[in-house]
Amino acid sequence: MTVTVQAVPMFADNYAWLLRESGTGATAIVDPADPEAVLAATGHQLATILLTHHHADHTAGTDEVRARTGATVVGARADAHRLPRLYTGVAEGDTIAFGNTRARIIETPGHTRGHIAFFFPDDALLFCGDTLFSLGCGRLLEGTAAEMFASLAKLAALPPETRVFCGHEYTAGNAHFALTVEPDNAALQARAAEVTRLRAAGTPTVPSILAEELAANPFMRAPTAARLGEIRAAKDRF
Ligand code: ZN
Ligand code: FE
């Protein structure tokens, strides 16, 4: 294990993620929307800011955190026109160094056109913003069900032990909806019970394990893009 991860909760239900690489002590933050919360967690030691997508609840603190730490900002080249000023614009398959390890960029359009995820292969860590949630997926604000289906399929192909760090604590609500789609899914029932226990104790339900999502998340389990679109539309009305 070279990277350790700490949740930095902010607003009602957002998570930024603070990463430390043990070999060099390098630190990075994913989606620093609330600068005070981020700076309280990092101090002024911060090498890198990683942005999953342009929404303000993921990016709003970027410029202030950059100004106060000197961190470099990494985000999707395709969305550079509406992201905070980037130091490095990245695209599908690019690799960025982080201390002695690296992250691979996965483009995951659907929630937004330029959405990206960061995958750290050495530790099997995935930071996927508002694409894949535990027991859910992001709203199709700028993309089609076909795009989200393809994005989730890319994430589904990662190693099953991958830990999935999404951008929101939405799991309890997602579980409630997911049980209406797959009421007889034993893996989903077990995960829903675990989520109830964790939330009652005030514990984050994120990260989850990719294998759990493949077994229990109806959006990951949708066999076709059309079915994914149906489930997503039902969730929008739920
Ligand atoms: Zn978003
Ligand atoms: Fe969000």
Please give the share of the chain, as a percent, with pLDDT higher than 70: 100
Q: What is the CATH number of domain 3-237?
A: 3.60.15.10
Which residues are found with C-beta within 5 Å of the ion, ligand 2? 57, 130
Active site residues: 53, 55, 57-58, 111, 130, 168
**b vs e for 200-235, b when ≥16 Cβ sit within 10 Å of the residue's Cβ?**
eeeeebbbbbbebbebbbbbbbbeebebbbebbeeb
What is the pLDDT, as a whole number, of residue 99?
96
- pLDDT at position 43: 86
User: Using one digit for the tens of pLDDT, what is the confidence trace for 114-150?
Assistant: 999 999 999 999 999 999 999 999 999 999 999 999 9
Is the per-residue pLDDT at 67 higher than 90?
Answer: yes
Residue 1 in this model has a pLDDT that exceeds 80: no
Task: Report DSSP state, residue 159.
Answer: -
| Assigned token pair, 26 | 């390098």
Please report the pLDDT score of residue 44 as a whole number. Answer: 84
In the predicted structure, residue 13 carries a pLDDT above the cut 90:
yes
For ligand 2, the distance from its centroid to the CA atom of residue 48, given in whole angstroms, is 20
- Tell me the CA–centroid distance for residue 138 and ligand 2, in Å: 8
What number of other Cβ atoms are within 10 A of residue 79's Cβ? 18
At 50 the pLDDT is 98
Q: Does this model's pTM top 0.95?
A: yes
pLDDT (tens digit per residue) in 74-114:
999 999 999 999 999 999 999 999 999 999 999 999 999 99
What's the 52 CA to ligand 1 centre distance in angstroms? Answer: 9
Instruction: Please compute the mean of the pLDDT values over residues 165-174 and round it to a whole number.
Output: 98
Report percent pLDDT > 90 for the chain.
Answer: 98
